Amino acid sequence: MEENKNLESVSLEKDAQVINGTKDQALQEKEVPQVNSQANNDEEPLDKNIKLMSPTRMVVRRFFRSKLSIIGLVMVISLFLFSFFGPLFYTRWGETTPDSSPLTEYGTSQFTYTKNGQTFVIKQTVEKEMSYNSYAPISGDHLLGTDQQGYDIFTRLMYGGRISLTVSFLAVFVITALGVVMGGIAGYFGGWVDNLIMRICDVLMCLPGIPILLIIGLILDSAGVGGSERIYWLMIYLTLFSWPGTARLVRGQILSLREQEYMVAAEAMGYSAPRKIFKHLVPNVMPQLIVQMSLSLGSMILYEATLSYLNLGVRAPFAAWGTMINIISTDPNVITDHFLAWGPAGICIVIAVLGFNFVGDGLRDALDPKMRR
């Protein structure tokens, strides 16, 4: 409630700035006493020509006034374009087509040893024939080089982004939908329904995440689920166990909104319960929900990356950012010698999570005028 009032006051103040252009007109109007006296003898008649903004537009304006949120938005949007439209244009390499141009690797070594006072030097050259072009450096052929198996890293980044973003978006939407429905029902009806749903939430929040995911990973192994589908199964589990956070948020909001007089008015109007919940209560919870969604998008990307890194989620030969970083566990030298094999994927994860968090923070500030600095 307080929030709403605050929003109003700020918005009015904002309006004064917005209408600057038409302010003179407004003043003129005021000097003419009662243009339309039949219609209204009320206080401060609003000028017809002044375009006032809807609450949503005001939020958008405030959002774009913060640099950080614009940066976040740019980061997120460019990642999207990169992942979803990139592969349409950069078709030189596929996700699972290695660069199989043979590579001959030469290694030289030299040993010195002394026997019977004589010093021997043995020079050795090893010629290694590889079936694919592994750890290629940056070149016109491979924009970011290749990894151990000769996969093009640039291409795999795009495909990895696809799966990370898709999976986390799906998960967040399902979580939000579940959370809104369950939290809405609990908050609106109260009583034993509320108790039941909240206790289910408590139980779900008690379950340890990673150990259960490891077990599910094993089950998927034994069921022989393929490398690109596994992540969806794991995310279904994550979704089913992550909605309580959203449900609690929605329930709390609805509990406070339910006591508002406009909800009593809706009751007096004889609206049905679904109408009251989904047309009157949920739109007023939307601000908090949007913030929650954008912040949990970041954490879902991290989750996805973690699972893939642990080799539970997306598995080679399919690409995901986490899987790409997983390469450092195969060979200890990679972390020092071949930064290109794992660095870009890590940077992508950082950009995605940062971007979503910036957007979330920006939205929260835009929706909550009390947070102004």
Partner 1 sequence: MADINELEIENQELSSNDIPKSTKDENVAPVAQPENEEVHFEGEEYAQLVAEYEKRKQEQKEKDMNEPFDKEALLEVRHLRKAFPLKKSLTGKVLSELIAVDDVSFKLYPGETLGIVGESGCGKTTMGRTILKLYPSSGGQVIFDGKDITDYKSKDMREIRKQMQIIFQDPYSSLPPRSTVGGILSEPVQVHKIVPKNQIKDYVLDLMDKCGLRDYYYERYPHEFSGGQRQRICIARALSVKPKLVVCDEPVSALDVSIQAQIINLLKDLQKNMGLTYLFISHDLSVVKYISDKIGVMYLGTMVEFGNKDDIFSNPLHPYTRALFSAIPNPNPDVKMERVHLEGDIPSPANPPKGCRFHTRCPNAMEVCKHVCPEYKEYEKGHFAACHLLDKPKLENK
Where on the chain is the footprint of partner 1 (CB under 8 A)?
Answer: 1, 4-5, 7-8, 11-12, 15, 36, 39-46, 48, 52, 54-55, 260-262, 264-272, 275, 279-280, 283-284
CB nearer to partner 1: pick between 11 and 294: 11
- Nearest to partner 1 of 137, 283 (CB atom): 283
Residues in the chain: 373
CB atoms within 10 A of CB 227: 18
13 vs 229 by CB, closer to partner 1: 13
- Please identify, using beta-carbon distances, which residue of 54 and 124 lies nearer to partner 1: 54
Whole-number Å distance between alpha carbons of 208 and 204: 9
Token readout for 193 is 């329904």
CA 216, 221, 224, 225 torsion-angle sign: positive
CB 82 within 8 A of CB 365: no
Min CB(46)–partner 1 separation in Å:
7
Between residues 14 and 354, which has the closer beta carbon with respect to partner 1? Answer: 14
Q: Tell me the closest approach of the beta carbon of residue 59 to partner 1, in angstroms.
A: 11
Taking the least distance from each CB to partner 1, the nearer of 55 and 94 is 55
Q: Of 24 and 259, which has the nearer Cβ to partner 1?
A: 259
Q: What is the DSSP letter of 46?
A: P
- Shortest distance in whole angstroms from residue 270 CB to partner 1: 3
Least distance from partner 1 to the Cβ atom of residue 91, Å: 46
Q: Residue 7 or residue 231: which is nearer to partner 1 going by CB?
A: 7
Can you tell me the distance from the alpha carbon of 310 to that of 225, in angstroms, rounded to the nearest whole number?
A: 16
Q: Are 220 and 230 in contact (CB under 8 A)?
A: yes
Residue closest to 299 by CA, chosen among 164, 205, 174, 156 = 164
Q: How far apart are the first and last CA of the chain?
A: 21
CA distance 258 to 98: 59
Q: How far is the CB of 271 from partner 1 (least distance, A)?
A: 6
CA geometry: angle 77, 79, 84, nearest 5 deg? 95
Please list the alpha-helical segments (H only) found in the chain: 2-18, 23-31, 55-65, 67-80, 86-89, 153-189, 191-206, 209-223, 230-258, 261-268, 273-275, 282-309, 321-325, 334-337, 339-367
Are 75 and 371 within 8 A, CB to CB? no
CB of 1 to partner 1, least distance (A): 7
| CA dist., res. 150 & res. 94, Å (int) | 11
CB 315 within 8 A of CB 230: yes
Give the shortest CB-42-to-partner 1 separation in angstroms: 6
Smallest gap, in angstroms, from Cβ of residue 275 to partner 1? 7
Least CB distance to partner 1 at residue 253 (A): 13
Is the Cβ of residue 265 or residue 347 nearer to partner 1 in the bound state?
265
Measured from the CB atom, is 18 or 216 closer to partner 1? 18
Least distance to partner 1, CB of residue 214, Å? 43
Closest CA to 148 of 357, 342, 286, 300: 342
